Amino acid sequence: MAKLSNSNPLTGKTLLKKVKDLEHLSREEKAKACGYYTVTKNDVVRVNMMKFMNALIDAEGIQLDSIQTGNGRGGRSASYRITVQSNGNLLIGAAYTKQMGLKPGDEFEISLGRKHIRLKQLNVDGDDDTDDADE
């Protein structure tokens, strides 16, 4: 067998195509064929499965890491969708109010459209603010 040397691992679409072409091989053999290995001083080949799997996740465009906002506490991320509750209320939620920098007591003018609700934030002195939040 030919001696292996450290290689440049494949990424992105090239990695995905190569993995698909090698579907008959084991995961370790795929990782090695895609360049996710190192050769030690004693010529021992070590397959780096973690880097291989992370590269596959990145190539597929899957976002596993959440983007930290605010004070680092957990909680739900904003989905930009809400549902009318059983009592008829629409609850916007803290994720949105934090993102907009709203504070308790901030006031809004509500205007109803045919298929939308528009919230217009009012300044402290009662004048309209230019920023709108549509729901």
The 10s digit of each residue's pLDDT in 8-48 is: 899 999 999 999 999 999 999 999 999 999 988 888 889 99
- pLDDT for res 132: 47
Q: Can you tell me the distance from the alpha carbon of 55 to that of 63, in angstroms, rounded to the nearest whole number? A: 12
pLDDT tens for each residue of 45-78: 899 999 999 999 888 887 776 555 545 555 566 6
Query: In terms of Cα–Cα distance, which of 60, 89, 82 is closest to 134?
Result: 82
Cα separation, 109 vs 128, in Å, equals: 9
Give the residue from 75, 117, 111 showing the smallest Cα distance to 96.
75
